[in-house]
Amino acid sequence: KAQYTHLVDPSDGSVEDDLIVWWVAPSRFVVVANAANTALVRDTIGGIDATSLRALIAVQGPKSRELISRLSPEASELSGNEVRSLSLGGSPCVVAGTGYTGEDGVEIDVPADRAAHLFSQLVELGAVPAGLGARDTLRTEAGLPLFGHELGPGISPLAAGLDWVVGWNKESFRGRIPLVRERQHGSAMKLWGLAGYTRRPLRRGSTVHVSSEGSSAGLGSTAGAGSAHRQLDEVTLRSNEPADGSLVGDQGTGNEMTDREIRHEIGVVTSGGFGPSVGTGIGMALLSSNMDVYPGM
Protein backbone atom coordinates (compact mmCIF):
# COMPACT_ATOMS: atom_id res chain seq x y z
CA LYS A 1 0.00 0.00 0.00
CA ALA A 2 0.93 3.66 -0.30
CA GLN A 3 0.61 6.29 2.42
CA TYR A 4 1.02 10.07 2.28
CA THR A 5 2.65 11.45 5.42
CA HIS A 6 4.74 14.28 6.88
CA LEU A 7 8.15 14.43 8.50
CA VAL A 8 7.69 17.15 11.13
CA ASP A 9 10.07 19.24 13.21
CA PRO A 10 9.92 17.99 16.82
CA SER A 11 10.42 21.53 18.16
CA ASP A 12 7.45 23.30 16.55
CA GLY A 13 5.55 20.72 14.48
CA SER A 14 6.29 22.41 11.15
CA VAL A 15 6.66 20.24 8.06
CA GLU A 16 10.26 19.29 7.23
CA ASP A 17 9.12 17.25 4.22
CA ASP A 18 6.02 15.59 2.86
CA LEU A 19 6.49 12.01 1.77
CA ILE A 20 4.84 9.15 -0.04
CA VAL A 21 5.74 5.82 1.56
CA TRP A 22 5.25 2.68 -0.51
CA TRP A 23 5.04 -0.57 1.43
CA VAL A 24 6.38 -2.98 -1.18
CA ALA A 25 7.28 -6.03 0.97
CA PRO A 26 6.83 -7.11 4.61
CA SER A 27 10.05 -5.39 5.68
CA ARG A 28 10.76 -3.10 2.70
CA PHE A 29 9.52 0.44 2.18
CA VAL A 30 10.18 2.91 -0.62
CA VAL A 31 10.13 6.50 0.63
CA VAL A 32 9.56 9.16 -2.05
CA ALA A 33 10.92 12.44 -0.69
CA ASN A 34 11.35 15.88 -2.21
CA ALA A 35 14.73 15.89 -3.94
CA ALA A 36 16.10 18.81 -1.91
CA ASN A 37 15.28 17.01 1.34
CA THR A 38 16.73 13.59 0.51
CA ALA A 39 19.67 13.86 2.92
CA LEU A 40 17.48 15.13 5.76
CA VAL A 41 14.97 12.31 5.32
CA ARG A 42 17.67 9.65 5.09
CA ASP A 43 19.47 10.97 8.19
CA THR A 44 16.20 11.12 10.14
CA ILE A 45 14.57 7.80 9.35
CA GLY A 46 17.53 5.79 8.05
CA GLY A 47 17.62 3.55 5.02
CA ILE A 48 19.52 3.57 1.75
CA ASP A 49 19.54 6.54 -0.63
CA ALA A 50 18.57 4.97 -3.96
CA THR A 51 18.00 8.28 -5.77
CA SER A 52 20.73 7.70 -8.34
CA LEU A 53 19.57 4.14 -8.99
CA ARG A 54 15.87 4.72 -9.58
CA ALA A 55 13.61 7.00 -11.64
CA LEU A 56 9.96 7.91 -11.14
CA ILE A 57 7.59 8.32 -14.09
CA ALA A 58 4.04 9.55 -13.48
CA VAL A 59 1.39 8.64 -16.05
CA GLN A 60 -1.60 10.83 -15.26
CA GLY A 61 -4.88 11.91 -16.81
CA PRO A 62 -8.26 10.55 -17.93
CA LYS A 63 -6.70 8.18 -20.47
CA SER A 64 -3.78 7.01 -18.31
CA ARG A 65 -5.33 3.69 -17.29
CA GLU A 66 -6.17 2.79 -20.87
CA LEU A 67 -2.64 3.58 -21.98
CA ILE A 68 -0.94 1.68 -19.15
CA SER A 69 -3.13 -1.36 -19.82
CA ARG A 70 -1.30 -1.87 -23.13
CA LEU A 71 1.90 -2.50 -21.17
CA SER A 72 0.37 -4.17 -18.13
CA PRO A 73 -3.31 -4.86 -17.49
CA GLU A 74 -2.46 -5.41 -13.81
CA ALA A 75 -0.96 -1.92 -13.51
CA SER A 76 -4.07 -0.30 -14.96
CA GLU A 77 -6.24 -1.91 -12.27
CA LEU A 78 -4.34 -0.60 -9.22
CA SER A 79 -6.44 1.29 -6.69
CA GLY A 80 -5.41 4.68 -5.32
CA ASN A 81 -3.27 3.33 -2.48
CA GLU A 82 -2.25 -0.01 -3.97
CA VAL A 83 1.39 -0.87 -4.80
CA ARG A 84 2.63 -3.83 -6.82
CA SER A 85 5.89 -5.08 -8.34
CA LEU A 86 5.24 -5.60 -12.05
CA SER A 87 6.98 -5.80 -15.40
CA LEU A 88 6.19 -2.93 -17.79
CA GLY A 89 7.49 -3.27 -21.32
CA GLY A 90 10.21 -5.62 -20.13
CA SER A 91 11.33 -3.34 -17.28
CA PRO A 92 11.00 -4.49 -13.66
CA CYS A 93 9.00 -1.78 -11.89
CA VAL A 94 7.15 -0.92 -8.73
CA VAL A 95 3.82 0.68 -9.65
CA ALA A 96 1.43 2.60 -7.40
CA GLY A 97 -1.99 4.08 -8.07
CA THR A 98 -0.77 7.46 -6.82
CA GLY A 99 -0.06 10.86 -8.34
CA TYR A 100 0.36 14.58 -7.75
CA THR A 101 -1.94 16.10 -10.35
CA GLY A 102 -5.46 15.68 -9.01
CA GLU A 103 -6.07 13.33 -11.95
CA ASP A 104 -6.35 9.56 -12.13
CA GLY A 105 -3.19 7.68 -12.96
CA VAL A 106 -0.21 5.71 -11.72
CA GLU A 107 3.39 6.36 -10.70
CA ILE A 108 6.12 4.00 -11.85
CA ASP A 109 9.38 3.39 -9.97
CA VAL A 110 11.82 2.01 -12.54
CA PRO A 111 15.58 1.30 -12.55
CA ALA A 112 17.38 4.42 -13.78
CA ASP A 113 19.06 2.56 -16.63
CA ARG A 114 15.63 1.47 -17.94
CA ALA A 115 13.81 4.77 -17.48
CA ALA A 116 14.52 6.29 -20.91
CA HIS A 117 13.42 3.09 -22.65
CA LEU A 118 10.16 2.92 -20.69
CA PHE A 119 9.53 6.63 -21.25
CA SER A 120 9.92 6.15 -25.01
CA GLN A 121 7.53 3.20 -24.95
CA LEU A 122 4.90 5.31 -23.19
CA VAL A 123 5.28 8.13 -25.70
CA GLU A 124 4.96 5.69 -28.59
CA LEU A 125 1.68 4.49 -27.09
CA GLY A 126 0.35 8.06 -27.07
CA ALA A 127 1.48 9.61 -23.80
CA VAL A 128 2.27 13.33 -24.11
CA PRO A 129 5.39 14.46 -22.21
CA ALA A 130 4.67 17.13 -19.60
CA GLY A 131 7.05 19.07 -17.41
CA LEU A 132 6.94 20.57 -13.95
CA GLY A 133 5.07 23.65 -15.20
CA ALA A 134 2.10 21.53 -16.23
CA ARG A 135 2.39 19.55 -12.99
CA ASP A 136 2.30 22.78 -10.97
CA THR A 137 -0.82 24.04 -12.76
CA LEU A 138 -2.60 20.73 -12.19
CA ARG A 139 -1.71 20.44 -8.51
CA THR A 140 -2.71 24.08 -7.89
CA GLU A 141 -6.10 23.51 -9.51
CA ALA A 142 -6.50 20.43 -7.31
CA GLY A 143 -5.43 22.34 -4.18
CA LEU A 144 -2.47 20.04 -3.52
CA PRO A 145 0.31 21.58 -1.38
CA LEU A 146 3.91 21.90 -2.52
CA PHE A 147 6.83 21.82 -0.13
CA GLY A 148 8.50 25.22 -0.04
CA HIS A 149 5.17 26.89 -0.79
CA GLU A 150 2.27 25.59 1.31
CA LEU A 151 4.48 23.37 3.45
CA GLY A 152 7.81 24.11 5.11
CA PRO A 153 9.40 25.90 8.07
CA GLY A 154 6.79 27.55 10.24
CA ILE A 155 3.88 25.75 8.51
CA SER A 156 2.35 22.77 10.30
CA PRO A 157 0.05 20.10 8.87
CA LEU A 158 -2.82 21.81 10.72
CA ALA A 159 -2.12 25.23 9.20
CA ALA A 160 -2.07 23.58 5.76
CA GLY A 161 -5.44 21.92 6.40
CA LEU A 162 -3.82 18.48 6.49
CA ASP A 163 -4.49 17.44 10.08
CA TRP A 164 -5.83 14.13 8.71
CA VAL A 165 -2.20 13.23 7.91
CA VAL A 166 -1.33 13.10 11.62
CA GLY A 167 -1.81 9.83 13.53
CA TRP A 168 -3.42 11.48 16.54
CA ASN A 169 -4.20 8.15 18.23
CA LYS A 170 -0.53 7.20 18.44
CA GLU A 171 0.95 7.65 21.91
CA SER A 172 4.26 8.89 20.57
CA PHE A 173 5.52 10.28 17.28
CA ARG A 174 7.95 12.94 16.09
CA GLY A 175 6.50 16.40 16.78
CA ARG A 176 3.50 15.17 18.77
CA ILE A 177 3.79 17.68 21.65
CA PRO A 178 3.73 20.89 19.54
CA LEU A 179 1.07 19.49 17.20
CA VAL A 180 -1.26 18.55 20.06
CA ARG A 181 -0.74 22.01 21.54
CA GLU A 182 -1.60 23.67 18.22
CA ARG A 183 -4.64 21.44 17.82
CA GLN A 184 -5.91 22.58 21.21
CA HIS A 185 -5.21 26.30 20.79
CA GLY A 186 -5.61 26.72 17.04
CA SER A 187 -3.27 27.68 14.21
CA ALA A 188 -2.20 31.27 13.65
CA MET A 189 -2.55 30.84 9.87
CA LYS A 190 -4.76 28.69 7.66
CA LEU A 191 -4.41 27.70 4.02
CA TRP A 192 -7.16 28.76 1.60
CA GLY A 193 -7.78 28.41 -2.11
CA LEU A 194 -8.30 31.58 -4.14
CA ALA A 195 -10.02 32.21 -7.48
CA GLY A 196 -9.94 35.53 -9.31
CA TYR A 197 -12.55 37.33 -11.36
CA THR A 198 -10.30 37.63 -14.41
CA ARG A 199 -7.81 35.58 -16.40
CA ARG A 200 -4.92 37.45 -14.79
CA PRO A 201 -2.74 34.91 -12.91
CA LEU A 202 -2.35 35.16 -9.16
CA ARG A 203 1.31 35.45 -8.19
CA ARG A 204 3.22 33.82 -5.37
CA GLY A 205 4.41 36.35 -2.80
CA SER A 206 1.54 38.80 -3.30
CA THR A 207 0.07 39.95 -0.01
CA VAL A 208 -3.64 39.58 0.68
CA HIS A 209 -5.60 42.53 2.08
CA VAL A 210 -9.19 43.17 3.11
CA SER A 211 -11.20 46.36 3.41
CA SER A 212 -13.95 46.80 5.97
CA GLU A 213 -15.41 50.01 4.56
CA GLY A 214 -17.26 48.77 1.50
CA SER A 215 -14.67 49.71 -1.11
CA SER A 216 -15.41 48.32 -4.56
CA ALA A 217 -12.17 46.48 -5.27
CA GLY A 218 -11.37 42.91 -4.73
CA LEU A 219 -10.50 39.38 -5.50
CA GLY A 220 -13.80 38.22 -4.05
CA SER A 221 -16.59 39.42 -1.83
CA THR A 222 -18.47 38.07 1.14
CA ALA A 223 -21.31 38.96 3.41
CA GLY A 224 -20.73 39.47 7.10
CA ALA A 225 -20.88 36.56 9.50
CA GLY A 226 -22.99 38.23 12.16
CA SER A 227 -22.78 41.05 14.67
CA ALA A 228 -20.00 39.37 16.61
CA HIS A 229 -17.64 39.74 13.63
CA ARG A 230 -16.48 42.75 11.65
CA GLN A 231 -17.86 42.48 8.12
CA LEU A 232 -15.19 42.05 5.46
CA ASP A 233 -16.58 43.36 2.20
CA GLU A 234 -13.73 42.89 -0.27
CA VAL A 235 -10.39 41.23 -0.79
CA THR A 236 -7.51 42.41 -2.96
CA LEU A 237 -3.99 41.25 -3.74
CA ARG A 238 -0.97 43.49 -3.60
CA SER A 239 2.24 42.64 -5.42
CA ASN A 240 5.53 42.82 -3.57
CA GLU A 241 6.82 45.11 -6.33
CA PRO A 242 6.73 48.84 -5.41
CA ALA A 243 3.62 50.67 -6.64
CA ASP A 244 4.24 54.33 -7.52
CA GLY A 245 0.59 55.12 -8.22
CA SER A 246 -2.54 54.70 -6.20
CA LEU A 247 -3.54 51.38 -7.74
CA VAL A 248 -2.55 48.21 -5.94
CA GLY A 249 -3.60 44.64 -6.45
CA ASP A 250 -3.33 41.93 -9.06
CA GLN A 251 -7.05 41.21 -9.08
CA GLY A 252 -10.02 43.53 -9.00
CA THR A 253 -13.57 44.16 -10.16
CA GLY A 254 -12.83 47.33 -12.09
CA ASN A 255 -12.41 49.92 -9.34
CA GLU A 256 -9.10 49.12 -7.70
CA MET A 257 -8.45 49.69 -4.03
CA THR A 258 -6.23 52.65 -3.12
CA ASP A 259 -3.52 52.71 -0.46
CA ARG A 260 -5.75 54.78 1.84
CA GLU A 261 -8.57 52.25 1.59
CA ILE A 262 -6.51 49.21 2.56
CA ARG A 263 -7.34 48.27 6.12
CA HIS A 264 -5.77 44.93 6.90
CA GLU A 265 -3.10 42.62 5.52
CA ILE A 266 -4.21 39.10 6.34
CA GLY A 267 -1.76 36.84 4.55
CA VAL A 268 0.31 35.98 1.51
CA VAL A 269 -0.18 33.99 -1.69
CA THR A 270 1.87 30.79 -1.55
CA SER A 271 1.15 29.51 -5.07
CA GLY A 272 -0.63 31.00 -8.05
CA GLY A 273 -1.12 31.02 -11.76
CA PHE A 274 -3.81 30.68 -14.40
CA GLY A 275 -6.30 27.83 -14.04
CA PRO A 276 -7.22 26.49 -17.51
CA SER A 277 -10.01 24.35 -16.07
CA VAL A 278 -11.79 27.35 -14.52
CA GLY A 279 -10.65 30.12 -16.86
CA THR A 280 -9.45 32.50 -14.14
CA GLY A 281 -6.44 33.22 -12.01
CA ILE A 282 -6.14 30.75 -9.14
CA GLY A 283 -3.91 30.25 -6.16
CA MET A 284 -3.48 29.31 -2.54
CA ALA A 285 -2.76 31.61 0.37
CA LEU A 286 -1.93 31.38 4.05
CA LEU A 287 -4.38 33.73 5.78
CA SER A 288 -4.64 34.83 9.39
CA SER A 289 -6.96 32.65 11.45
CA ASN A 290 -8.08 35.77 13.35
CA MET A 291 -9.85 37.20 10.31
CA ASP A 292 -13.40 36.42 9.30
CA VAL A 293 -12.64 34.52 6.11
CA TYR A 294 -14.32 31.37 4.91
CA PRO A 295 -15.09 29.36 1.73
CA GLY A 296 -17.06 31.35 -0.83
CA MET A 297 -15.08 34.50 -0.21
Residue 80: its pLDDT value, please? Answer: 86
CA–CA distance, 160 with 103 (Å, rounded to integer): 21
Q: What is the mean pLDDT of the chain?
A: 84
Residue 238: its pLDDT value, please? Answer: 58
% of the chain at pLDDT higher than 70: 80
Residue 249 pLDDT level (bands cut at 50, 70, 90):
very low
Q: What is the CATH number of domain 2-141?
A: 3.30.1360.120
Question: Residue 235: beta bridge partners?
Answer: 210, 220
| pTM of the entire predicted model | 0.80
Query: In the chain, what's the furthest Cα-to-Cα distance?
Result: 67
pLDDT at 121 exceeding the cut of 70: yes
Hey, where are the domains in the chain?
2-141, 188-288
pLDDT tens digits for 17-64? 999 999 999 999 999 999 999 999 999 999 999 999 999 999 999 999
pLDDT tens digits for 196-230? 889 999 999 998 887 655 433 334 333 222 222 33
Residue 17: its pLDDT value, please? Answer: 98
For 231-241, what is the mean pLDDT? 49
Q: Which is more confidently placed, 264 or 181?
A: 181
CA–CA distance, 76 with 106 (Å, rounded to integer): 8
For 74-78, what is the mean pLDDT? 95
pLDDT tens digits for 270-287? 999 999 999 999 999 999
